[in-house]
Amino acid sequence: MSTPHEAQEPERDGAQVSTGTTDQGESAAIPELVIISGMSGAGRSTAAKCLEDLGWFVVDNIPPELIAPMVELGARSQGNVARIAVVVDVRGRRFFANLKESLATLDAQNVKRRIVFLESSDEALVRRFESVRRPHPLQGDGRIVDGIVAERDLLRELRGDADLVIDTSSLNVHELRAKMDAQFAGEEVPELRATVMSFGFKYGLPVDADMVIDCRFIPNPHWVPELRPFTGLNEEVSGYVFSQPGSKEFLDGYTELLRIVAEGYRREGKRYVTIAVGCTGGKHRSVAMSEKLARRLVSEGVETVIVHRDMGRE
């Protein structure tokens, strides 16, 4: 548990978040809240440490019923604890029953909260547990993979409610920290942030994608000998892609669709969206389309990050 020296033990006489006044008569501001959860071994601790480095008040493995009292404590801190991050996971047992009740309490009190969910593939999780020679917290007398399956089932609903899902299957610690920094660093929080990710279908769908675009209807530059060595970042490759029938119309149509979706996300308070753009190998068509789509989003006022997941992988 990481706590500032001036913080006091939270009162445990209820789960209501007060919006009253401080001892000096000033209005008490409710702290911003981030709930970090996800698969064991997917990087929850790294994500929490990143927020701690950014000045958040971070509490690890807190029982869900203590989240609301913790927020109330922050509201009484006269602005000293303006941003709270809590790590909630299956180590707390009776996980969902208490967490759902706590989230309902926070919503009723108009607490500004976000859920960050750390995801990873089964293969990556097994590899990580085996490398540190530790059992999965839910495997019992079974195998590591049995614990992973049980945990996925337990966390399925929370993952669906998450505001931000980060797939750490192919990320190292530094790359995960960079992703967290990109989302949480800075004083001003933009209305909506988008990640546009190119990928190759032959390497699998990105598990953290909110929307998936399939560019395989466009003729493949791979079969043009003079274009094959290059990527979609190359002007000639991009020109070839967008000279094909339907390419520009597809970009225009999807831009309009995203404009509608973005407005809906803003109304619902969703701040993050990952748009996965796929072709066969993730080298030509998806890269070119991602670049153009990202520029369109930026022109619409959406802060956008571009990730080319599989470029250079072949």
Note the pLDDT tens digit of each residue in 209-243. Answer: 999 999 999 999 999 999 999 999 999 999 999 99
The answer to whether residue 111 sits within a structural domain is: yes
Range of the domain at 134: 32-184
Question: Do the annotations mark residue 89 as ligand-binding?
Answer: yes
- Is 128 known as a binding-site position? no
Boundary (domain end) residue, out of 166, 184, 202: 184
Q: Is 39 annotated as a binding residue?
A: yes
Integer angstrom CA distances of residue 42 from 47, 59, 134, 162: 10, 18, 14, 15
37 and 139 housed in the same domain: yes
CA distance 58 to 1: 7
For the chain, the 3-state helix, strand and coil shares in percent, each to the nearest 5, are 40, 20, 40
Domain assignment present for residue 24? The answer is no
Residue 20 domain-assigned (yes or no):
no
Give the pLDDT confidence of 159-194 residue by residue, as tens digits.
Answer: 988 999 999 998 888 888 888 888 887 645 446 889
The number of distinct structural domains making up the chain is 2
Within this chain, do residues 73 and 126 fall inside the same structural domain, yes or no?
A: yes
Query: Is 177 within the bounds of a domain?
Result: yes
* 204 annotated binding-site participant: no
pLDDT at residue 172, rounded to an integer: 87
Domain final position from 163, 184, 205: 184
pLDDT at 65 over 70: yes
44 is in an annotated binding site: yes
The pLDDT confidence band at residue 8, using thresholds 50, 70 and 90, is very low
Same domain, 252 and 135: no
Same domain, 164 and 197: no
Same-domain pairing of 140 and 51: yes
Q: Does residue 157 lie within any of the structural domains?
A: yes
Tell me: is residue 91 an annotated ligand-binding position. yes
Is residue 11 in some structural domain? no
Residues 209 and 178 in one domain: no
